Chain A
Amino acid sequence: MENAAVIEAGPQGGAPTPGVDPVAATKDSSLARRLWRNWAVRIGGVVLVVLILVALAAPWLHTVDPTLFDAGSRDLLPGAMGEITDLDGQTFAHKFLFGSDSFGRDIYSRVIYGTRVSLIVGLAVAALSLLFGVLLGLAAGTLRRLDGPLMRLMDGLMAIPGILIAIALVALWRANLWTVVLAITIPEIPRVTRLVRSLVLSIREEPYVEAAISLGTSTFVIMFRHILPNTVAPLIVQGTYICASAMLTEAILSFLGLGLPADIPTWGNIMAEGRVQFNQYPHNVFFPGIFLALTVLSVNMLGDGLRDILDPKMSRRV
């Protein structure tokens, strides 16, 4: 696994350009302009913002409650008119924009609500794995005694294919939103830990850190005031990639029937439900599939663009 470490940490592990303080650069207003000029950031960012708005505005955008169904409106094609029964037993006419599933539920409304789950999982997993990874990476990079054991543990964790860890944990804990988030987070932690550790190790050699040490600054202050701010740019880039892959993993778990309970509208669940009769009604799989692919694509593009701007050393390689 040693080589895996070199390859993964290598491009990002380089020392930050001496003399350039990324924190100062962040405050520079020209950074925003540089970001906006990058077309990948622009497209990815705009699509992502739209999706966040869709998730927030789901209660206004949906055409009908995504859990309502009507036995008479099963398997309608996109755009078809049908009926739907509400909880009081009232039946009313309804236009199924994306068609209906085999229970007679409105796929459009389910897809709109599915946006919420995907975004929550993606953002929560990214935030949590960065949090744990930063803490563990700082610990490994600064506390010599912890370094060996901690990194061996991370090696072991990385030797197990991530999706298998997630699948096993979800199976053990029974799936709900937070166990799913945690199960996807755990296999992501070692990668962040390694990244942070390698950054810490190289930043530690910088003159300004040596100066701080010789002035008698406490380890704690050095860690959080002098080292941590310099890891921000690569971590933001890493975070977007984790967000994208977490959304894919969540969808895979749901699709395999291992994720959130089937009645919760997630893109993976809608596709899992639709796959049974994919031959006759491919739209059940395609609509959520398109949304999922677009979302992940926009986050990945955002990541690529941010990497080009924030972390040019890495972008030159891959």
Chain B
Amino acid sequence: MISFLVKRILSTLPVMLIVAVLVFLMLRLTPGDPAAIIAGDAASPENIAKIRESFGLDRPLVVQFGIWFGNLLTGNLGESYYFKKTVVELIAQRIEPTVALAGLTILIAVAVAVPLGVLAAWRMGGWLDRALMGFSVLGFSVPVFVFAYIIIYIVSLKLDLLPVQGYSRIGEEGFWQFLRHLILPSITLSVIYIALIARVTRAAVSEVLTEDYIRTARAKGLPEYKVLWRHAFANAAVPIVTVIGIGIALLIGGVVVTESVYGIPGLGRLTVDAVLARDFPTIQGVILLFSFVYVLINLLVDLSYVLFDPRIRY
């Protein structure tokens, strides 16, 4: 078990290294002076000279990567000349809203999608199943921001129930204000995630439902909810957890859009601001962070298989 853990954790290192190389190359393979690109449009000639010096930009590419990667390992993601802060400070400042938004979204998505998926598989071809499949195709097709505007229009503008946009930090105006500002963004963001999880749950559970032990469970007179929960769902858990992990990539893409629509000062909004300002150290930092989180979550998903399926032993 321990040796598997170590091996599995080590196996993410090459992926992370390749991500770092790609993010590094992205900038270097672009025509133009990398120092000027890193400095951004707002930089002075002294800034550019200083960057060329500190990044070793007049030295071979491998040395440049060494310097950059060395900084990365010591937690130095560089400095944003546009925001006049280090990238780490910027990220620290913006991370709370994103974590809150993503957390609430995952909570909503799992709570809605899993039971719906199980029920749809239970009565496959029934009205709930068909409605759910229709909804999921729609969920994959309606862009996040269009959906955002539809619910803003109904809930905020017509019914006046929740704020149109903005964010309230947890400690600022109390927990209710914090939650109120997050409800619409989380629902918006959860739509595509629900579509994805519900589809996979339905498929996984429906496959399990054809197993002999389901018939046995029913034959011994177990109530249907127990058959569904204890036997069908429990045995379908592995693919469901897997898709929750893979879906994080969708979620991250959605965060960028959702935060922009609702004016939430998180990492997604930071990404867009950084791109509009052509602030590359920040763009690189955010991409590295999001990729790291994505890989990490999928590592945890892998490790969690032991909890869901006792047949899997490492």
Cβ–Cβ < 8 Å partners of B286 in chain A: 164
Any chain B CB within 8 A of the CB of A304?
A: yes
A237 to B23, CA, bound (A): 31
**Chain A residues with CB under 8 A of B278:** 171
- Quick check: is A172 within 8 A (CB to CB) of the other chain? yes
Asked, given contacts A1-B298, A159-B294, whether A164 binds B142 with beta carbons under 8 Å apart, the answer is no
Q: Are B143 and A257 in touch, CB under 8 angstroms?
A: no
The answer, yes or no, to whether A131 is at the interface (CB within 8 Å) is: no
- Flag if B275 contacts A171 (CB, 8 Å): yes
A61 to B276, CA, bound (A): 35
Main secondary structure of the interface of A (DSSP, over half): helix
Known A3-B242, A297-B137: A279·B272 in contact at CB below 8 Å: no
**Which residues of B113-142 are within 8 A (CB) of A?**
137-138, 140-142
The reply on B15 being an interface residue by CB < 8 A is yes
A304 to B207 Cα, complex, angstroms? 19
* 8 Å CB contact of B290 from A1, A8, A161, A278: A161
Give a binary string over B236-261; 1 marks a CB under 8 Å from any A CB, 0 the rest.
Answer: 00010011011001001100110011
Q: Are B152 and A292 in contact (CB under 8 A)?
A: no
Task: Find out whether the CB atom of A167 lies under 8 angstroms from the CB atom of B257.
Answer: no
> Which residues from 186 to 217 on chain B have a C-beta closer than 8 Å to any C-beta of chain A?
199-200, 203, 207
Are A248 and B14 in contact, with the CB atoms below 8 A? no
- Known contacts A172-B30, A257-B276, A293-B146: does B37 contact A160 (CB below 8 Å)? no
Q: Which residue of A lies closest to B257 (CB)?
A: A252
CB of B271 within 8 A of CB of A7, answer no
The answer to whether A2 and B11 touch across the interface, beta carbons within 8 angstroms, is yes
Of A168, A169, A289, most B-chain CB atoms within 10 Å: A168
Residues of A within 8 A of B30 (CB): 172-173
Interface centre among B200, B207, B253, B302 (most CB of A within 10 A): B253
* Given A171-B278, A171-B283, A256-B260: A248 and B143 interface contact (C-beta under 8 Å): yes
Q: How big is chain B's contact interface, by range?
A: 35 or more
**CB of A26 to closest CB in B, whole Å:** 26
Query: Does B43 interact with chain A (Cβ within 8 Å)?
Result: no
Most B-side CB within 10 Å, residue of A165, A167, A278: A167
The CA-CA distance from A125 to B149 in the complex, in Å, is: 27
Which stretch of A12-20, A149-157, A207-215, A217-225 is in the interface? Answer: A149-157
Interface size on A, residues (CB 8 A): 50
Interface string of B142-183 (1 = CB under 8 A from A): 111110010011000100000010000000000000000000
Confirm or deny: B19 has a beta carbon within 8 angstroms of a beta carbon on chain A.
yes
Rounded to whole Å, the gap between the CB of B266 and the closest CB of chain A is 14
Which parts of A126-181 form the interface with B (CB within 8 Å)? 152-153, 155-157, 159-165, 167-173
Q: Is A235 an interface residue (CB 8 A)?
A: no
**Nearest-Cβ distance from residue A211 to partner chain B, whole angstroms:** 35
Question: What is the bound-complex CA distance between A161 and B283, given in angstroms?
Answer: 13
Among A52-68, those with CB < 8 Å from B are none
A244 at the interface (CB under 8 A from B): yes
Cα separation A7 to B207 with both chains bound (whole Å):
15
Residues of B within 8 A of A317 (CB): 203, 207
| Complex A-B: 5 CB contacts under 8 Å | A161-B249, A163-B253, A172-B30, A252-B145, A304-B137
9 nearest CB pairs, A to B: A156-B18, A289-B146, A163-B253, A297-B141, A296-B141, A171-B275, A161-B252, A161-B249, A293-B142
Residues of chain A touching chain B, judged by Cβ–Cβ distance below 8 Å, are 1-4, 7-8, 152-153, 155-157, 159-165, 167-173, 244, 248, 251-252, 255-258, 271, 275, 278-279, 282, 285-286, 289, 292-293, 296-297, 300-301, 304, 317-318
Hey, which bits of chain B sit against chain A, CB under 8 A?
Answer: 11-12, 14-19, 21-23, 26-27, 30, 37, 137-138, 140-146, 149, 152-153, 157, 164, 199-200, 203, 207, 239, 242-243, 245-246, 249, 252-253, 256-257, 260-261, 271-272, 275-276, 278, 280, 283-284, 286-287, 290-291, 294-295, 298, 301-302
